[in-house]
Amino acid sequence: MRKIIIAGNWKMNKAFSEAEDFMVELTDFLNVKKLGKVEVVVCSPSPYLEMASDFASENRVFIGAQNVNENDFGAYTGEISASMLASMEIDYCIIGHSERRKYYHETDDLINSKLKKLQEFEVVPILCIGETLEEREKGITEQVILSQLTKTLTNIKINNDLVIAYEPVWAIGTGRTATPQQAQEIHFLIRKWISEKFSSEISNSISILYGGSMKPENIRELLHQPDIDGGLIGGASLDIEKFKAMINTAVEL
Ligand code: 13P
């Protein structure tokens, strides 16, 4: 059975004390909760990773970074390596987020290099892919998704050490969510591609998350889709009550 992952992506938000308070409340909540096949992940800003990972004992909550550099080490001011993440026992790392593609001009080739580095150091990549509004309106969504998958997963071996997040760019931070049917269509496409390229075993075990204005009001319908295995949640993950509500929904399914 594949995991249902409820992952918060805090992006560049929260002061240190707010982040710490959130982690205290979250772990208090999770410690008395039966999670079943649900895994909870918090992708915190880099300066808070160590603090956040102190809360990660007993696998109640897993910690993710939001970015990694493709090099091993060296003169790359401001960057973080996969080996650093591994040395802090960080479990996950987001790569290929549309904000990094847009603002920092990250290409599929670069994302492919980052993915390889993360795998080398056994940090599980959360690979984000998704089309822009313009691409959707042009009717080339499937082409864009398949091209992103092909390029970012070139020469990659996967077991189930990869999470994919489908994040339609037009749904991120806009309040406009993909309908469950729109999301399911693309999740199915991704799983089919993984099955053809790798194996049906791998495609059945890999978690494919939806991201884009996911919130307590719409999570249930999205998670009901057969190929949606959780969410990568931005805005709504900043609020502990909303995050708890979304975990509750995932656990109840
Ligand atoms: P929002 O949930 O704020 O739309 O952000 C989604 C996202 O980008 C998660 O990585």
Q: What is the DSSP string of 192-235?
A: HHHHHHT-HHHHHHSEEEE-SS--TTTHHHHHTSTT--EEEESG
Q: Which two tokens stand for residue 107?
A: 């290409």
Tell me the C-alpha distance between 89 and 144, whole Å: 34
The whole-number pLDDT of residue 57 equals 73
DSSP state of 60: S
Tell me the C-alpha distance between 189 and 248, whole Å: 28
DSSP state of 123: P
Q: What is the CATH number of domain 4-252?
A: 3.20.20.70
The whole-number pLDDT of residue 175 equals 84
- Pocket residue to mutate for ligand 1, from 98, 213, 238, most atoms within 8 A of Cβ: 213
| Ligand 1 centre distance from Cα of residue 13 (Å) | 12
Among protein residues, the one with the nearest Cα to ligand 1's atom 1 is 234
Tell me the C-alpha distance between 125 and 233, whole Å: 16
The whole-number pLDDT of residue 160 equals 67
Is the distance from the beta carbon of residue 176 to the nearest atom of ligand 1 less than 6 Å?
A: no
Beta-bridge mates of residue 189: none
Which H or E run contains 64? strand 62-65
| Ligand 1 centre distance from Cα of residue 10 (Å) | 9
Tell me the C-alpha distance between 233 and 172, whole Å: 9
Q: What pLDDT, in 10s, does the model give residues 41-99?
A: 999 999 999 999 999 976 789 999 999 999 999 999 999 999 999 999 999 999 999 99
Above pLDDT 70, what percent of the chain?
99
Of ligand 1's listed atoms, the one at least distance from the Cα of 94 is: 10
Of ligand 1's listed atoms, the one at least distance from the Cα of 214 is: 2
Q: Which two tokens stand for residue 121?
A: 């150091």
The whole-number pLDDT of residue 37 equals 94
Give every residue of the chain whose pLDDT is below 50, as ranges. Answer: none
Is the distance from the beta carbon of residue 212 to the nearest atom of ligand 1 less than 6 Å?
A: yes
Q: Which residues are catalytic?
A: 97, 167
Q: What pLDDT, in 10s, does the model give residues 26-36?
A: 999 999 999 99
DSSP state of 119: H
The whole-number pLDDT of residue 1 equals 75
Is the distance from the beta carbon of residue 141 to the nearest atom of ligand 1 less than 6 Å?
A: no
The whole-number pLDDT of residue 144 equals 98
Domain ranges for the chain, please list them: 4-252
Which H or E run contains 126? strand 124-129
DSSP for 71-115 reads: SSSSS-TT---HHHHHHTT--EEEES-HHHHHHS---HHHHHHHH
Residue found by looking up tokens 């799983």 in the block: 191
Of ligand 1's listed atoms, the one at least distance from the Cα of 171 is: 4
Which H or E run contains 246? helix 240-252
Tell me the C-alpha distance between 9 and 16, whole Å: 15
Tell me the C-alpha distance between 130 and 142, whole Å: 10
Which residues make Cβ contacts (< 8 Å) with residue 158, sequence separation at least 6? 194, 198, 202, 206
Q: At what angle do helices 141-152 and 108-120 cross, to 10 degrees?
A: 40
Is the distance from the beta carbon of residue 102 to the nearest atom of ligand 1 less than 6 Å?
A: no
Q: At what angle do helices 180-197 and 141-152 cross, to 10 degrees?
A: 40
